Amino acid sequence: MTRQAPTHLAGARPEAGTDQRQGTSAPPRRARDDRRVAWLFLLPVLVGFVVFYAYPTIRGVWYSFTDYSLLDEPAYVGGDNYRQLVGDAQFWNALKVTGYYVVVNIVSQTVVALGLAALMHRLTRSVLLRATLLVPWLVPNVTIGLLWAWLLDPDLGYVNHLIGLTGLDTTLSFNSPDWAMPLVALVNSWTFTGYTALLLYAGMLQIPPHLYEGAAIDGAGEWRMFRSITLPLLRPILALVLVVSLIGSFQIFDTVAVVYGGKAPIPETRVIYYYIFQRAFTYFDMGYASAVAMVLVVILGVLTTLQLRMLRASSSDLG
Amino acid sequence: MLSGSRIGRRAAWLALTVAVVLTVFPFYWMVRTALTPAADLWTDATSLWPHRPTLVNFARLLNLVGPEAARAAGGSGARIDFLLYTLNSVVYSGLIAVVQTFCCAMAGYAFARLRFPGRDVAFGVIIAALMVPPIFTILPNFVLVKQLGLLNSLPGLVLPSLLMTPFAVFFLRQFFLSIPRDVEEAATLEGVGRWGMFWRIVLPMSRGPLITIGLTTVVWSWKDYLWPLLTGKGEDSRVLTVGLGVFLQQSPNTAPDWTGLMAGSVLSIIPVLLLLIFLGRRLVQSMNFSGIK
């Protein structure tokens, strides 16, 4: 369910306009048959869509205007939940914490991934290397969370052991208010950097090699080529990858839910997804949780529109 | 390739090596911990290889040793059945991947190739659903599954994503649009019907994208946590990710059962690792094949 459109699938986009002649050359009987057949083809998806996407969306909006504890029927309270939201310090904290996480995560992940992709692009085509970098992305976030909770254990964690060897007097821990959020952001960057690097690498493969050859003959160095060829030509893909990672990182939940051993996270890492989860399933306040989720709908709606525009999902390429 | 200085080239390789080590070492440490007897955790926390390697942590997760022996090896003795959770995870992600890919392919084909009234509106509405973040529909879907009496059952677990996701419909439609029309026109002259066209011509031609979306769906549902956490709490419908979380909370003392947890973590990645080994080329290359043109 917590699924984000994977960017690497975004590309099977045909040239716009391949479908312009839709049906015009088919005989009329065929067109009549098509109408009947089409709804049969669509039936399973339409059922799934109406029951588990459309109807729940409408219900979710309705819940956000109700007081609903899951036990009694939802009771309409108008805009009360939203009014409460404005004065809810925990909600604002969740937004702030999420925003901080998104920025740190996106910046560190994208910068490192861009560097990795450029190195791979100029040095090697090894599939083994790419497969290795993909592994953290394949692994459940729950496993990743456990693994890093162990590596960063204050007493026995290997990372803290290494820090001790350097003589520094610091202990990294998810329970330290100063370190918790940077650590969560770094762990998730660690998870997704390889994946992001592969997407950017795939984009770099589209750049015609002769551009580099020409530049090399003109005496351009690697850094110059990266700045003048790779970066400008990669911009559309870089933008798409950025938006998709942004959408994804607003929805951070698993890592935070796991690194505290199943207990609630400290305020410094209580992200918005977790706050919604807590409101709905710890306090059984479905109505209020839905109102908070509505805020997320608005934020992500803007970003997704941007993403769809980049994927050119406009109906203009419908025949 | 690199025309620059030798030093620059070496530095570049060094950077890639560092990236690989940083990627691999945490997993190595996971395996290393899983092979450590719980009793040695405090005395042998930092050597690169455990002094007394053991498989007992795996054995107790798979219920190969009795509760007494499990407690002796550092477990809580509470029943934990990773074999069942793995099976549940395989069923959960396999079922969703196969059924969803097939249903979305049918719809994608209809949207790409058939002409019928309401098509553009229907497609537009489905695409609009991409804007709704999962958490928003998870709340009402939880209520719905609860009202249907399907909480803590496999059907309740798979139903919401079994038939479709808007993205899969979108993705497959885009691919089907790119199939040359002549192929189908030739088949029409041969008297092949719509179903035959889809089943015998379009699907075989689309093996690449179908596998790509199927694989991605497997990976995502394998990693899934929040939905199964809410709806699959019971032992029978518990998937691996939820099982690991439960295991974490069951720790007997104040400190978590790290050796057992790492053994469970290893088990949770073996299946996806196998997927990577057997279909890795496909998975890795799908990223350039679809290559965000």
Q: Which CATH class is domain B82-289?
A: mainly alpha
Residue-by-residue DSSP string for B98-167: HHHHHHHHHHHHHHHH---TTHHHHHHHHHHGGGS-HHHHHHHHHHHHHHTT-TTSHHHHHHHHHS--HH
Of A6-20, B194-208, B257-271, the range with the lowest mean pLDDT is: A6-20
User: Is residue B59's pLDDT more than 80?
Assistant: yes
User: Is residue B254's pLDDT more than 80?
Assistant: no
Confidence (pLDDT) at A12: 46
**Per-residue DSSP letter, B202:** I
Of A7-11, A79-83, A151-155, B161-165, the range with the lowest mean pLDDT is: A7-11
Confidence (pLDDT) at B251: 66
Q: Which of A135, A146, A301 sits opposite B244 (nearest CB)?
A: A146
CB-count burial class (<10 Å; 0-12, 13-18, 19+) for A266: middle
For chains A and B, CB pairs below 8 A equal 384
User: Is residue B233's pLDDT more than 90?
Assistant: no
Confidence band for A99, pLDDT divided at 50, 70 and 90? very high
Would you say how long chain B is, in residues?
293
User: Is residue A35's pLDDT more than 80?
Assistant: yes
Kindly report, residue by residue over B263-289, the tens digit of the pLDDT.
Answer: 999 999 998 888 888 877 777 766 654
Q: Are residues A262 and B249, on separate chains, in Cβ contact within 8 Å? A: yes
Confidence (pLDDT) at B154: 92
User: Is residue B290's pLDDT more than 50?
Assistant: no
Q: Is A76 helix (H, G, I), strand (E, B) or coil?
A: strand
Confidence band for A18, pLDDT divided at 50, 70 and 90? very low
Would you say how long chain A is, in residues?
319
Q: Are residues B124 and A161, on separate chains, in Cβ contact within 8 Å? A: no
Alpha carbon separation from B275 to B219, B238, B271, B280, B282 (Å, rounded): 9, 22, 6, 7, 10
B119 Cβ under 8 Å from any chain A Cβ: yes
User: Is residue A101's pLDDT more than 50?
Assistant: yes
Percent of chain A surpassing pLDDT 90: 69
Chain B (207-246) residues lying within 8 Å, Cβ to Cβ, of chain A = 209, 212-213, 216, 219-220, 222-227, 229-230, 240-241, 244-245
Chain B (129-188) residues lying within 8 Å, Cβ to Cβ, of chain A = 129-144, 146, 159-167, 169-171, 174-175, 177-178, 181, 185, 188
Give the Cα separation of A261 and A259 in Å (integer): 5
**Per-residue DSSP letter, A75:** E
Measure A178 CA to nearest chain B CA, in Å. Answer: 23
User: Is residue A14's pLDDT more than 50?
Assistant: no
**Which comes out higher in pLDDT, residue B25 or B81?**
B25
Confidence (pLDDT) at A1: 42
Contacts of A251 in chain B (CB under 8 A): 133-135
Q: Average pLDDT of chain B?
A: 88
Domain annotation for chain A: domains and CATH numbers: 89-311 (1.10.3720.10)
A134 Cβ under 8 Å from any chain B Cβ: yes
A138 Cβ under 8 Å from any chain B Cβ: yes
Q: Are residues B133 and A52, on separate chains, in Cβ contact within 8 Å? A: no
Give the Cα separation of B271 and B223 in Å (integer): 12
The residue with tokens 């069951």 is B250
Kindly report, residue by residue over A37-82, the tens digit of the pLDDT.
Answer: 999 999 999 999 999 999 999 999 999 999 999 888 999 999 999 9
Q: Which of A1, A14, A131 sits opposite B227 (nearest CB)?
A: A1
Contacts of B134 in chain A (CB under 8 A): 1-3, 251
Confidence (pLDDT) at B266: 95
B269: closest chain A residue by CA: A139
B290: closest chain A residue by CA: A11
Is the separation of the CB atoms in B61 and B263 below 8 Å?
A: yes
Q: Which of B45, B103, B229 sits opposite A156 (nearest CB)?
A: B45
Q: Are residues A45 and B291, on separate chains, in Cβ contact within 8 Å? A: no
Confidence band for A32, pLDDT divided at 50, 70 and 90? confident
Q: Where are the domains of chain B?
A: 4-72, 82-289
Kindly report, residue by residue over A306-318, the tens digit of the pLDDT.
Answer: 888 887 643 344 3
User: Is residue A22's pLDDT more than 50?
Assistant: no
The ipTM (two decimal places) reads 0.90
Alpha-helical (H) ranges within chain A are 28-49, 55-63, 80-86, 89-123, 127-138, 141-151, 158-165, 180-204, 209-217, 222-225, 231-250, 254-259, 272-281, 286-310
Kindly report, residue by residue over B98-114, the tens digit of the pLDDT.
Answer: 999 999 999 999 999 99
State the average pLDDT over residues A126-152: 93
The residue with tokens 């045909």 is A14
Give the Cα separation of A82 and A270 in Å (integer): 20
Q: Average pLDDT of chain A?
A: 87
Q: Are residues A9 and B130, on separate chains, in Cβ contact within 8 Å? A: no
Q: Which of B126, B258, B275 sits opposite A49 (nearest CB)?
A: B126
User: Is residue B185's pLDDT more than 90?
Assistant: no
Confidence band for A119, pLDDT divided at 50, 70 and 90? very high
Give the Cα separation of B291 and B284 in Å (integer): 11
Confidence (pLDDT) at A6: 55
Confidence (pLDDT) at A11: 47
Percent of chain B surpassing pLDDT 70: 92
Measure A182 CA to nearest chain B CA, in Å. Answer: 18
Give the Cα separation of B154 and B88 in Å (integer): 8
Give the Cα separation of B178 and B175 in Å (integer): 5
B31: closest chain A residue by CA: A147
A8: closest chain B residue by CA: B287
